[in-house]
Amino acid sequence: MMDQQAGLIAAKDGSPHLEVGMMKREIETDSDAERLNHAEMRHRELEARLAELGRHAYLTPSEQLEMAELKKQKLKAKDEIHALRRGPS
């Protein structure tokens, strides 16, 4: 549902987003502690999936692509964790 004046919409996951022209930006609603918790949880999930793929004797081409994407996401989560632990610059 969209609030016509503010351009506020709810995403499929229910989180609020701000629609600006063609771009959508998530509104910051989580505290730093919640964002840190979420980033750490996401990092652990990615690590578990990478470990699962790593136990395979052979990776299919799609699994190889998945592994590369997961590594990028894991690094992004790790960077976010470090930034949140450092606090405001």
Domain ranges for the chain, please list them: 1-29, 32-86
24, pLDDT greater than 70: no
End-to-end CA, the chain = 36
Using DSSP, state whether 15 is helix, strand or coil: coil
Whole-number average pLDDT of the chain: 79
Give the pLDDT confidence score for residue 12 in this predicted structure. Answer: 53
pLDDT tier at 70, thresholds 50, 70, 90: very high
How far is it, in rounded angstroms, from Cα 33 to Cα 50?
A: 26
Q: Are 77 and 39 in contact (CB under 8 A)?
A: yes
Q: Are 26 and 15 in contact (CB under 8 A)?
A: yes
Which H or E run includes 62? helix 61-86
